[in-house]
Amino acid sequence: MDKSNGRSEIVRYDISFSVPMVHRLRITGDVLGPDFPVLAELLEPGDNDVARVQVWADAGLLEWDADLLRRVERQLARYPQLDLVSPAEVLPGGESVKNDPAIIDHILEAIHRDDLDRRSYIIVIGGGAVLDAVGYAAAIAHRGIRLVRLPTTTLAQADSGVGVKNAVNWFNKKNWKGTFATPWAVINDERLLQGLSDRDFRCGFSEAVKVALLKDAVFFNYLHQHSQDIARRDAEATREALRRSVLLHLDHITRGGDPFETREARPLDFGHWSAHKLEAMTQYEVRHGEAVAIGVAVDVMYSHLRLGFPLQAVKQTWETLQRLHLPITHAMLDDQVIFEGLEEFRQHLGGRLTITLLRDIGRSVDVHEIDLGAMKEAIAAVSEAAAVVAEEEVSAAAMPAPSYSGPGKKLSATDISDGRQ
């Protein structure tokens, strides 16, 4: 008893601690073929010398590889220590899988039906949305079942596949319900990208441009120089771009000091405040990668107007995205509703609004308020630049083919006034 004031003694203990985790990333050429041992060795047997496994796959995969599930099952059957507890199941791909609560209930019921536990494994093969949905169910079942992700889109292989976040959409808001959970392993496999349409193939590289702007000028220059090769699906350029992108994302997650986003800032969400809102506003007709490209295009221009981000880097960003055949603007950006994305972003973070912007390539800064007038100016500048390029493409299409086809539109300093403040 504290006799001086008559109150009970108050004792406080604030103890910092860390939880040891291992992030396992593998890069393969054909993991469901000759490289399957890479996956098998990740599935460590439990106490009974058997690893119990459940498999979920994106329905879109079966449209170009109808034998995929049978191949997975045959490969697993070759290993006596691996027990596929039930036939592999298929889920709808795209954002619809994250919008339907019945799908999450179905996954949870299957986990319960098969008596999976914390030492069991769930293998999910698919795009980012399917990885998210299955990952969310795996994270909340028994407070966490080991999840092995096989991303099948460039978007997931460049970024979200190695992320520690899982989420589904709720209240018509992107990723409103979710968890943080480190995957047991991630395998980026080259062959699994073959079934992508050109549109979906190119979408993933907006995240590569984003992380390069944030962290690595050399990588940004590589993307600028090789963007047309990547758009043509050149194997070497694509492989290198995905490798560098995923390693930069992984480095930030494992060494950035805030993997579960307990602080205000989310640097890897550069360009995302408007991207998430634009997806919802278009009923997800705009792909996530396309929305990120638009968000990045706008935010580099805003960074120029407010923080002095070099104009040349703005133009190079736009050029890179356009050479990748990614959009840099959308009609709905002119809708005042787009700015609701700022408040939704703040709520998602908690606390103050915190938006990551750029002073230069590799030099990010966090700001806590947005000048809406300057942001509207940035949006208008991007729209004007996109319109100029579109007009030139139409004119070029109407003209006889030239003897030499040079690089895409290069914006001169006079194309945009220097509105630096």
Of 198, 329, 322, 196, which is closest to residue 271 (Cα–Cα)?
329
Examine residue 89 and state whether it is found in any structural domain, yes or no: yes
Residue 122 lies in a domain: yes
Of residues 224 and 393, the one with the higher pLDDT is 224
* Same domain? 170 vs 274: no
Full residue range of the structural domain in which residue 331 is found: 265-394
Q: Is residue 417 part of a domain?
A: no
Last residue of a domain, one of 140, 175, 196: 196
Same-domain pairing of 147 and 293: no
pLDDT over 70 at 22, yes or no: yes
The pLDDT of residue 413 is 31
369 and 282 in a single domain? The answer is yes
Q: Are residues 273 and 159 in the same domain?
A: no
276 and 187, same domain (yes or no): no
Domain boundary among 139, 174, 196: 196
How do beta strands 121-126 and 146-151 pair? parallel
Same domain? 365 vs 275: yes
Looking at the fold, whether 180 and 275 belong to one and the same domain comes out as: no
Looking at 175, 196, 217, which one is the last position of a domain? 196
Distance CA 291, CA 328 (A): 8
- Give the pLDDT confidence of 281-317 residue by residue, as tens digits: 998 899 999 999 999 999 999 999 999 999 999 999 9
User: Residue for token digits 């349409």?
Assistant: 197
Q: What is the CATH number of the domain that holds 329?
A: 1.20.1090.10
56 in any annotated domain: yes
| 72 and 176, same domain (yes or no) | yes
- Specify whether 286 is located in the same domain as 172: no
Q: How many domains is the chain built from?
A: 2
Looking up residue 170, the CATH number of its domain turns out to be 3.40.50.1970
**191 and 314, same domain (yes or no):** no
Q: Is residue 330 part of a domain?
A: yes
277 or 265, higher pLDDT: 277
pLDDT at 173: 81
Residues 188 and 271 reside in one and the same domain: no
Note whether residue 50 is domain-resident: yes
The tens digit of pLDDT for each residue in 169-203 reads: 888 887 889 999 999 999 999 999 999 999 999 99
For β-strands 51-58 and 82-84, DSSP reports them as parallel
* 3-class SS string, the chain: CCCCCCCCCCCCCCCCCCCCCCCCEEEECCCCCCCHHHHHCCCCCCCCCCEEEEEEEEHHHHHCCCCHHHHHHHHHHCCCCEEECCCCEEECCCCHHHHCHHHHHHHHHHHHHCCCCCCCEEEEEECHHHHHHHHHHHHHHHHCCEEEEEECCHHHHHCHHHCCEEEEEECCEEEEEEEECCCCEEEEECHHHCCCCHHHHHHCHHHHHHHHHHHCHHHHHHHHHHHHHHHCCCHHHHHHHHHHHHHHHHHHHHHCCCCCCCCCCCHHHCCHHHHHHHHHHCCCCCCHHHHHHHHHHHHHHHHHHHHCCCHHHHHHHHHHHHHCCCCCCCHHHHCHHHHHHHHHHHHHHCCCCCEEEEEECCEEEEECCCCHHHHHHHHHHHHHHHHHHHHHHHHHHHCCCCCCCCCCCCCCHHHCCCCCC
pLDDT category at 408 given cuts 50, 70, 90 is very low
Written as six digits, the tokens of 27 are 């890069």
| 220 is a domain residue | no
The better pLDDT of the pair 396, 225 is held by 225
Say if residue 177 is in the same domain as residue 320.
Answer: no
176 lies in some domain: yes
